[in-house]
A and B are shown apart, each in its own frame.
Chain A
Amino acid sequence: QVKTISGTVTAQSDGMPLPGVNVVIKGTTQGTQTDYDGNYSIEASTGDVLEFTFLGMKTQLITVPDAVIVNAALEDDALSLDEVIVTALGIKKEKKALTYSAQEVKGDELTTVKQTNPINSLSGKSAGITITKSSSGAGGSSKVVLRGSSSTTNNDPLYVVDGVPMLNSGNGSNGEAPGTSIFGDQTGNRDGGDALSLINPDDIESLTVLKGASASALYGSQGANGVILITTKSGKDGKLSVNFNSSLTVDNVTSLPELQTEYQSNSVGQPIAENGNVTDPKSWGAKTSGLSNTVDDFFETGITAIQSLSLLAGNKVAQTYVSYANTSVNGVMPNNRMVRNNFNVKETASFLDDKITVSAGVNLSDQRIWNRPTNGLYSNTLTGLYLNPVGIDLNEYKNFEYFNADLNMMDQYATSFDENIQQNPYWLINRNKSKDVAQRVVANVSAKYQILENFSVQSRASYDKSFFTFDKRMYAGSDPTFVPATGRYVLEKTENTQQYIDLIANYTTDITDDLNFTAILGTSLTKYSTGDQLHLDSGIGKGLTYPNVFTIGNFAETKDISQSVYNREVQSIFASVNFGYRSMLYLDITGRNDWSSTLVNTDSNAFFYPSFGLTGVLSELFELPQSVTFAKLRASYAIVGKDIPAYATIPLNSIPNGQGNFAKPTFGVIEGETLEPEKQNSFEIGTQWRFVDNRLGFDFTYYNTKTTNQIFFIAAEPNVQGYVQNIVNAGEIKNSGIELTVDAKPIVKENVTWDTALNFALNKNEVVSVHPSLQNGEAIITAPGVNGYGYSLIEGEDFGSIRGRSVVRNENGLPVVSDDGAGGFSIEATEWETIAHAQPDFTLGWSNSFNFDNFQVSFLVDAKFGGDVVSITEAVNDFYGVSQATADARNRNGGMIDVVDGSGNAQQMTAQDYYTKTAGRAGLIGEYVYDATNVSLRELSVGYNLIFPDSRVNNIRFSVIGNNLFFFYKKAPFDPNVASSTGMGLQGVDIYGQPSTRSIGLNINVNF
């Protein structure tokens, strides 16, 4: 009995109607699609089986009952094995056919607890990815490392947005240059931000992490550090929806250093100079009581508000996605604010019976940051704050200036300018103002022509440009080491541009019924112009003509202005062939050849990378127990490379800043050597198993990479050219590790579900060799100079050895001292040695999501085990006697430190004497090593869904969200997940970085 069946198809997760769902009577070709509102109707008989299929949802089968209404609620199927995944170059592949590890993270996993930089939301959600935030607050960049550091020059992954590589070059002096010292830049060690942090998290549909070289071999020289593919949202056929999301969090500092309030400075009670200077800026005076710590008063409660609106509309022919987002942040540091606006349009259309698909999009971002926090010792607000002499009320210094009658103008009122690292923090936030503007425009167009059913040609082009402006106005009265008596003005304009175009042909055919073949042939051209900068700095010489007039016309001299740009062009051809045998066995072979302009003057400016991968679907190949839903085994091998820094092969003279005469190139190739691209061989093997109707599964990968021909900038051997550094190919760095992801749905009930996932990654790396000319197998990345911290790559050690000296102790752990000739003692110090390696031994992320009716609770525990970090902050705080550790030492043992002299006789030193000789920036940093292990409740969200079935408003979701809530375990005196630098030079060290923040707030999502 044929009858008309009708009904509505909705998504089980949010109750939203699903347009475009295929409804087919199983075993026939009869079928239809749901309309706009998820409604369908079809002629069928009772007992027929209706099959509802929709991409990304589990297929549902419903037997037609006697009734005529058949509604279906489709379940999300993130675990679907037939699902396709976006891989290199935007090529979609069946997940089960993949020969390497790829992990997908859905957009909503990134936006449930939203962060201003979307990449920070990845932490703990994918195995093998380590994310370290910079300490510069909102708008800061993040250091992202996949499968451990393998390169001496750059370990950043490649980001690919909708198939087109994105230019993520940042701007700023954040430890990018080799030799960065802990002083930081004179104007403050700043994070210039990057392009990635400008992305609106709500635009992200999904994010795929391609960790190994095999996955990214098709990206050639750019993909050596792995690839993060970002797929952005698009309009959908037959769907109209408006989504409004508002989130508001309050942010408070956590992990502040422990400061003492027991021992006052000798300055207390002494006269204070007209300029506020006290007699003794340190805090080694008498014990007292009733003091309070003013540090907490300084920080404010930050507020982060993100509003975003998106609109999806479309019909069969054309689809539109438009979004706008506004992010507004008041930082925890007074006067630190950020405002960001994002606008995104994406239009897709098809012509000629869908034979031609064209898509075009424009993405605009504009971000302004006022007074972005800096780190390092110089011009940093926090040094003056933490080191404030105990007992001298910092509130007295809130009025940060006084009238200097001699100069007839205002001047800084500060407790001290000691060691050039202390200034009045209120002066710095009011009279060392900075403004960072970052703007980015990306325009892209892509066209695909399906010439034959199995042959298509696609071309994509994009123009990606970022503009950065940095404006810093340092008033007269700032520390004269950095700022002349008339003030200093720095204005920097930087542009980064990438032009990309590719052409890819895709051919697929069934050679036999059992054997499927796909081939891809493509070519691409990328032109880069990065760091195209005008740097205008009035400098530390004569400064400004008229004090505190911040305009370039007022520069008293022009010795500190400069220009720079890094140009690079890469041309490529690439091909891939893929064989699939009966959905059981898959073989992938890829090859890519790159020609890079940076390789001019070397033996060859071309380099080739192949990759091979094989997958066997065990569950198809063999008869496995019923409980095994799916099983596969995969293996792949790839060689990828990386070109060399621009201009390295053509050293030229230059006119350096501040000199006024030409200088010879500071680095060059060793006489008689040439350079070649860095090369990485990588092997991985993995297996994926799913059990009990997909309710439990795991994916395990073992990988092994060997990176050779690294680019090292090493201290130059004696040479006649005056090179300070040589650029060499050398060394070998090995990484090996395992990644394990386990996911499960322990509870699947009508009204209650529990999803849980565990991401585990273990990476071991070793610097096998560095350049043979280096003494002791040590390649120095950051030379200690006059400070106590160094960073090197050392043969036989893990990647990144933090170097320092420690106190020599006898067998009882007592410091060994010697007579200093004046009745005191000198502390015996060790030679420079490796004191820490910052990378964790293994990382663990555990995410959970519970659904009870309309309630949803999710949380993420993020853990890193192993590794050590050092704290210059603690060392300097100890030196000044402001740390709790120094108060404890003074309260103990009558304030004396037990030491032992060379003859083994017990001796004592005062705590002050001991810390003065061991602490400080140049001190024995080996005494300031802390276990980096930490376990934190990274994210928590409790939400409630209100569904309005018959209203214009489809649903409203309220959630309470928390980020970085607390640590279950942490030993370091700062948050080790926050880095001083996202560059190479300053890893595993805190130098007065802004403390990390805990955010708690509310998120409202309204869907029309």
Chain B
Amino acid sequence: LANCTSNFEDINTDPNGISNESLTQMNNHIGGSFTPMFLNVFNVTPAWNFQLQQNLIGDVYSGYMTPPTPFAGNVNNMTYSLVDGWNGFPWADAYGSVMPFALDIKNAVELGGDPAGEKFVHLSNIVRVSAMHRVSDIYGPIRYAKFDDFATTGEYDSQRDAYNAFFVELGAAIDALKAFEGDSQFIPFDMSSLGGDIAMWRTYANSLRLRLAMRVVNVDATLAKTEGEKALASDAGLLEATDMYINTGFAHPLTVISGAWGDIRMGAEMESILEGFDDGRKEVYFQPAEDPTLNGAYKGIRMGVEIEAKGQYGAHSALGSVIEGETIQWMSAAEVYFLRAEAALRGWSGSGTAQANYEEGVKASFAQHGVGGVDVYLADNTSTPNDFVDALNAVNDIAYQGDVKIAYDAAGTNEEQLEQIITQKWIAMFPDGQEAWSEFRRTGYPRIFPVVVNNSGGTIDTDVQIRRINFVQNELNTNGDNVEIAKGYLNGPDTGGTRLWWDIEGSNF
């Protein structure tokens, strides 16, 4: 009988599966694992997954975009009724398609025994930090430092611990990868605009370190300064001419969401600021409203208003050519200049002057989008954001709560200068709403309008606005004990109203 059943193993092997052994061919056991990571920091397909991972969280809370669609009878994320069925996606994408693949790379390198494999671990760590800081910026505590070990994989890090781990990993990568500059083994696996150039990856990692350093400045100024100055001083350099984006091979999901589905439109804040500044980038970012009564204006929708039917606001401004092509941007050179501008404002050494960096940032952004007239723009010292006028319902009209201008005013107070820097950074980072929402929460800029309808049941203050997303339902179901511990890392209840670790109320200085 042993003979009869000897082929059971063959029978029970899926002929359409791919064994790990098979993947070792052409190093796909290492390199192939980068693909799902690249495609899931921002999920690229299917579009509805991106919609739930990014679009209906960061993209709307940043003021970038607003859906004209009254999802679930208008009782949804936009009106602060946080939809658990949506908000689990940033988590699921990270823990299904990023974290385990990073571990696979680490294991494959360890098993392979080739010391040159070490570079893949560091590169994978850079991608992992790119993904996971975004996840942490949504929920706060995440499973990170203890993830790779079976015994502790369910345990959460406080956001502070997670950020410290990010800094350690980025620092280690920047240092260790120096020895691999010129190494070509990563070229076939690199889907990014960096083209497998290890030196450029060091630059990107260093820029990411600066981004994260700035994020923690209000809660831990010392840590921020230490990490920030490391970044400013590093021989890895900072992104200046090169934007970091991924060649996904898929149409940008926003083309589907804005185009075919008609489920996302210009945000009210985008209208106020771009129109108020008469900013040329509006023609790249958005299309004129199709609604004939709007006479071809760029028209946004305020988030969290009463919407009865999709038809009402559906013909407001859709997204423009910025999302054409098969790429997704992770970090623009412009953003890095604005980080340097803020670093200068804060007196970090090695950062130059705030004004110069600010202007370089604006120029980089105009150049990136092929928009002319940057010098005139930068000289404009009168334009301010418009007050918002709802095309359909005056109840939603609201004045812009500030008079930030374009031309840099080095004589302004620190807060005034910061508002200029962050407002321009906010424009430049479009359409990465997640990063824009994080920076809004950190700095309070630009002046995002509060919701009109608040269905949070009192858990999110309308004026304070949403600060995070509550822990995901699936974790509560499968990892409840650890989630309970993680709740203890929060500054308040597990709701959307509780501020994250780096999110400090009050002044930025």
Hey, which bits of chain A sit against chain B, CB under 8 A? Answer: 277-282, 416, 418-420, 480-481, 484-485, 540-542, 562-565, 567-569, 571, 595-601, 605, 646-647, 649-650, 652-655, 658-664, 666, 671, 714-722, 724, 773-776, 778, 780, 783-787, 818, 820-822, 824, 826, 828, 879, 916-917, 919-920, 922-923
Tell me the bound Cα distance from A601 to B457 in angstroms: 51
- Residues of A within 8 Å of B23, CB to CB, are 653, 662
Central interface residue in A662, A671, A784, by most chain B CB within 10 Å:
A662
* Contact, CB under 8 Å: A717 / B5: no
- Residues of A within 8 Å of B5, CB to CB, are 571, 595, 597, 605
Interface residues of B in 211-265 (CB under 8 A from A): 249-251, 256, 259-261
* Contact, CB under 8 Å: A569 / B36: no
- Residues of A within 8 Å of B250, CB to CB, are 541, 660
The residue of chain B having its C-beta at the shortest distance from the C-beta of A648 within the complex is: B12
* Contact, CB under 8 Å: A647 / B12: yes
Q: B299-323: contact bitstring with A at CB < 8 Å (1 yes, 0 no)?
A: 0000000101111000000000000
Q: Could you list 4 further interchain pairs (A-B, Cβ under 8 angstroms) beyond the known A663-B97, A820-B79, A919-B73?
A: A599-B8, A652-B17, A718-B95, A780-B477
The residue of chain A having its C-beta at the shortest distance from the C-beta of B249 within the complex is: A660
Closest chain B CB from A915 CB (angstroms): 8
Question: Which size bracket describes the interface of B in this complex?
Answer: 35 or more
The residue of chain B having its C-beta at the shortest distance from the C-beta of A716 within the complex is: B478
From B32, B97, B479, A717 is in contact (CB under 8 Å) with B479
B39 close to A (CB within 8 Å):
yes
* Contact, CB under 8 Å: A717 / B260: no
Central interface residue in A778, A818, A916, by most chain B CB within 10 Å:
A916
Tell me the bound Cα distance from A923 to B47 in angstroms: 24
* Contact, CB under 8 Å: A664 / B458: no
Tell me the bound Cα distance from A601 to B13 in angstroms: 11
Closest chain A CB from B99 CB (angstroms): 7
Tell me the bound Cα distance from A5 to B18 in angstroms: 80
From A597, A655, A721, A724, B12 is in contact (CB under 8 Å) with A597
What are 12 A-to-B residue pairs whose CB atoms are below 8 Å?
Answer: A565-B14, A595-B8, A652-B17, A652-B19, A658-B45, A661-B36, A716-B478, A722-B100, A785-B85, A820-B79, A879-B73, A916-B73
Central interface residue in A564, A600, A773, A818, by most chain B CB within 10 Å:
A600
* Contact, CB under 8 Å: A715 / B8: no
Interface residues of B in 145-181 (CB under 8 A from A): 147-150, 153-154
* Contact, CB under 8 Å: B311 / A786: no
Central interface residue in A279, A567, A820, by most chain B CB within 10 Å:
A820
- Residues of B within 8 Å of A279, CB to CB, are 309, 311
Hey, which bits of chain B sit against chain A, CB under 8 A? Answer: 1, 4-5, 8-9, 11-20, 23, 28, 32, 35-36, 39, 45-47, 69, 71-75, 79, 81, 83, 85-86, 92, 95-97, 99-101, 103-104, 143, 147-150, 153-154, 249-251, 256, 259-261, 306, 308-311, 451-455, 457-458, 462, 474-480, 482
* Contact, CB under 8 Å: A718 / B17: no
The residue of chain A having its C-beta at the shortest distance from the C-beta of B75 within the complex is: A917
Tell me the bound Cα distance from A694 to B13 in angstroms: 56
From B69, B86, B147, B150, A786 is in contact (CB under 8 Å) with B86
From A282, A724, A775, B96 is in contact (CB under 8 Å) with A724
* Contact, CB under 8 Å: B309 / A418: yes
**Secondary structure of the A contact surface, majority rule:** loop
* Contact, CB under 8 Å: B18 / A281: no
* Contact, CB under 8 Å: A826 / B18: no
* Contact, CB under 8 Å: B311 / A658: no
The residue of chain B having its C-beta at the shortest distance from the C-beta of A532 within the complex is: B15
- Residues of A within 8 Å of B147, CB to CB, are 720
- Residues of A within 8 Å of B9, CB to CB, are 600-601, 650
Given contacts A569-B11, A654-B17, contact A917 B458 (CB under 8 A): no
From A664, A666, A821, B453 is in contact (CB under 8 Å) with A821
* Contact, CB under 8 Å: A821 / B462: yes
Given contacts A281-B311, A663-B36, contact A718 B18 (CB under 8 A): no
Tell me the bound Cα distance from A780 to B474 in angstroms: 10
From B8, B457, B479, B482, A569 is in contact (CB under 8 Å) with B8
* Contact, CB under 8 Å: B75 / A718: no
* Contact, CB under 8 Å: B72 / A920: yes
* Contact, CB under 8 Å: A818 / B457: yes
- Residues of A within 8 Å of B47, CB to CB, are 540
Tell me the bound Cα distance from A821 to B457 in angstroms: 9
* Contact, CB under 8 Å: B45 / A659: yes
The residue of chain A having its C-beta at the shortest distance from the C-beta of B14 within the complex is: A647
- Residues of A within 8 Å of B96, CB to CB, are 666, 722, 724
Given contacts A650-B14, A722-B100, A818-B457, contact A775 B476 (CB under 8 A): yes
Given contacts A281-B311, A661-B35, contact A721 B100 (CB under 8 A): yes
Tell me the bound Cα distance from A540 to B218 in angstroms: 45
- Residues of A within 8 Å of B256, CB to CB, are 480
Tell me the bound Cα distance from A661 to B101 in angstroms: 12
* Contact, CB under 8 Å: B101 / A600: no
The residue of chain B having its C-beta at the shortest distance from the C-beta of A665 within the complex is: B17
* Contact, CB under 8 Å: B12 / A654: no
Given contacts A563-B16, A716-B478, contact A280 B309 (CB under 8 A): yes
Tell me the bound Cα distance from A485 to B150 in angstroms: 46
* Contact, CB under 8 Å: B46 / A540: yes
* Contact, CB under 8 Å: A822 / B15: no
Tell me the bound Cα distance from A420 to B19 in angstroms: 39
- Residues of B within 8 Å of A919, CB to CB, are 73
Tell me the bound Cα distance from A818 to B454 in angstroms: 11
- Residues of B within 8 Å of A277, CB to CB, are 311
* Contact, CB under 8 Å: B311 / A280: yes
- Residues of B within 8 Å of A784, CB to CB, are 85
- Residues of A within 8 Å of B457, CB to CB, are 818, 826, 828
* Contact, CB under 8 Å: B454 / A646: no
- Residues of A within 8 Å of B75, CB to CB, are 826, 917
Given contacts A653-B19, A654-B16, A660-B249, contact A722 B477 (CB under 8 A): no
- Residues of A within 8 Å of B476, CB to CB, are 775
Tell me the bound Cα distance from A920 to B477 in angstroms: 25
Closest chain B CB from A177 CB (angstroms): 16
Q: Which 5 A-B pairs have the closest CB atoms?
A: A652-B17, A722-B100, A480-B260, A718-B154, A786-B85
* Contact, CB under 8 Å: B36 / A923: no
From A418, A664, A821, B101 is in contact (CB under 8 Å) with A664
Closest chain A CB from B57 CB (angstroms): 14
Given contacts A277-B311, A717-B478, A923-B73, contact A567 B12 (CB under 8 A): yes
- Residues of A within 8 Å of B480, CB to CB, are 775
Tell me the bound Cα distance from A828 to B457 in angstroms: 8
- Residues of B within 8 Å of A722, CB to CB, are 95-97, 99-101
Closest chain A CB from B343 CB (angstroms): 37
Tell me the bound Cα distance from A363 to B442 in angstroms: 73
Tell me the bound Cα distance from A485 to B256 in angstroms: 11
- Residues of B within 8 Å of A420, CB to CB, are 261
The residue of chain A having its C-beta at the shortest distance from the C-beta of B481 within the complex is: A775
The residue of chain B having its C-beta at the shortest distance from the C-beta of A540 within the complex is: B46
From B12, B101, B458, B482, A598 is in contact (CB under 8 Å) with B12
* Contact, CB under 8 Å: A822 / B478: no
Given contacts A655-B18, A917-B73, contact A715 B478 (CB under 8 A): yes
* Contact, CB under 8 Å: A600 / B12: yes
Tell me the bound Cα distance from A736 to B153 in angstroms: 41
* Contact, CB under 8 Å: A719 / B153: yes
* Contact, CB under 8 Å: A600 / B8: yes
* Contact, CB under 8 Å: B103 / A720: yes
* Contact, CB under 8 Å: A773 / B478: yes
Given contacts A485-B260, A541-B251, A720-B148, contact A822 B309 (CB under 8 A): no
Closest chain A CB from B398 CB (angstroms): 13
Tell me the bound Cα distance from A662 to B97 in angstroms: 11
